[in-house]
Structure 1
Amino acid sequence: MPLNMPKVPQGVSITNKGKAAMYATQDLRDEHEGILLMLSVLERLGTTLQVDHTVNLQDLEQILGFLSNFADRCHHGKEEDVLFPSLIRAGISDRGGPIGVMLAEHAQGRSLIQAMRESLSRLQAGDEASRPEFVGAALGYVRLLRDHIDKENTILFVIAEQRLTSDEHARLAEGFTQIERERIGDGVHEQYHVLLHQLLDTYL
């Protein structure tokens, strides 16, 4: 585990490898901690970008890579392709309710990431008019994801921990490992943690 990462309970692997947690949702909770830290970096840079033209745009590009590949493609992939179907089989409706809300917010987040990518590309090309567009999308994304993560931690994951059996949680853990391997590849999770802490050391 990289230095300075939030302390993980004994027996829990932050990368879902080795000894399994009692609940597979602990893997998602651990990932939320890293995502929240990156949101704080994005918030700091977005706020700075409003008044400071010397912000490192390459760092913003790396942040978007983290959010797109790790937070969305991998983390949200675990939820959408593994956790949510298990909850639906357990009788939790995907039409409205917590699953429906989470899916809608995932879609909103993807739209905001795309807006950030497009405005950052124009900003890199020298279009200063795109600066407030990036800032608006970035700070909107931070607000959305913080609220989203709070709802998952306090509502959706609690439902999963109450409704799914230990065997189902074991299958979730296996599914999470497969998603991570297929979506971002072995070792990439750890590389993103290194990037996260480099950015934390620089900006927070």
Structure 2
Amino acid sequence: MRPDSITKLAVAGLLLLASAATLPCQGQARRNRNRQAEQKQRQQQRKEERKEQHQAQPQQQHHAGDWLRRYKDLPPEQQQGALEKDPDFKRLPPERQQQLRQRLQHFNSLPPQQQDRILSRMETWEHLTPEQKGQARQLYSQIKDLPPERRRMVQTAVRGLRQMPPEQRQQVLDSERFRNMFSPQERDLLGGVSRLPLAPPEGGQNDQEPEE
């Protein structure tokens, strides 16, 4: 074989080897680019999720109980000023604003221990699920519709049941004494309220449950 032919074959072989060597590199480069694109996409998705959570968080955390805890130790005039400046308060209709002003005045007229109980009850209410809140509203609406004497008896029983562990509550509800004291409808109301993680009404009155 002629020397120039050998040289051509050698050059061709080297070119083939070089081409073969670059194929895995090109494939690896494509895989790297794909992985980088996937990682970038996942990072963007996580960024969007965090953004949505951050936007939703203030709405979830802004509760009436939080506002009262923050301002309850201020003088009434400063409380009133803070309420009037609150962005959420400004968006309410005038009737609702007046109702909240009256509730704030009533809250300030209560003894400190009763204020603490109300704040605790509001915090419990704010952590109920929408289904539990709907059930609580329905139960307390039915209790409110009872005749005054029966309503007071049911509310007194609720306060007693709420101080018991769950298993003892059920025993008391099924007891002969309760069957003699309360009608089947009243026992159903007592059972429904006692199963909710909601504090009982204060002072023998059917206070409205806290509102968001």
Structure scoring higher RCO (CA < 8 A, sep ≥ 6) equals 1
Shorter-chain TM range is: under 0.3
TM-score, normalised relative to structure 1? 0.25
TM-score, length basis structure 2: 0.24
**Larger radius of gyration, structure 1 or 2?**
2
